[in-house]
Amino acid sequence: MIWHTVPFLFQRLFPERLWQKGKEESKIYLTFDDGPVPGVTDYVLKELAKRSQKATFFVVGDNIRKNPSLAQELISEGNKLGNHTYNHLNGWKTETLAYLENIELCDKVLVDELGVKTKLFRPPYGLIKSSQAAEVSRFHEVVMWNMLSGDYDQSLKPELVLRKSIQHSKPGSIAVFHDQLRTKEVLPKILPQYLDYIQDMGWTTSLL
């Protein structure tokens, strides 16, 4: 089951994590996870550029290593990068020390390959143990979301993904899409319309 929005009570259980930002401003905090991936990330960049919109990309360290020029393009286009571990690890299934070392390795690749030092971290799958989060929070802000598009779920029809994404996007929302191979076919069917919706509402896309 996809939770396109996160219940407020659940957000209150972990108030130290960032779920949304100021509702009083007409801004959407657009984020993309799992890249950079050729054929997907570059498509996203083109769609953003058409509308002069920006996003925060939570990148996987190994994908930066494989695609450094594409990762550099994210920065040159004025977007922001966050850490998404080096190997897209599930925190619930990973011993804490190994998890922290994987995050550190992603940080190292960001600095060595791109000259980027980020304070932003998003746990893959949104799954992180409290003990891990406590350690990560010493050096990073743990960024979650309150609008999950579900674009990676190939069992969902694109029309539903788009409708739910629009329905649950409000000023201050942190919205999640994915620039990965599983979303290569669906993104062209939903992302342009979603970005146009943001524009038509008079909202701006802001960086975290």
Lowest mean pLDDT among 6-10, 17-21, 57-61: 6-10
Q: How far is CA 154 from the centre of its chain?
A: 18
Q: pLDDT band at residue 151, thresholds of 50, 70 and 90?
A: very high
pLDDT at residue 13, rounded to an integer: 78
pLDDT, tens only, 49-87: 999 999 999 999 999 999 999 999 999 999 999 999 999
Do 90 and 124 touch, CB atoms closer than 8 A? yes
For the cut 90, the answer to whether the pLDDT of residue 2 exceeds it is: no
As a whole-number percent, the residues of the chain with pLDDT over 90 amount to 90
Amino acid at 98: A
What is the average pLDDT across 18-44?
A: 94
Q: pLDDT band at residue 132, thresholds of 50, 70 and 90?
A: very high
Return the axis-axis angle of helices 187-200 and 41-50, rounded to nearest 10°.
Answer: 30
Rounded Cα distance between 104 and 99, Å, is 9
Lowest mean pLDDT among 9-18, 148-157, 162-171, 197-206: 9-18
Class of domain 18-205: alpha beta
Q: pLDDT band at residue 3, thresholds of 50, 70 and 90?
A: low
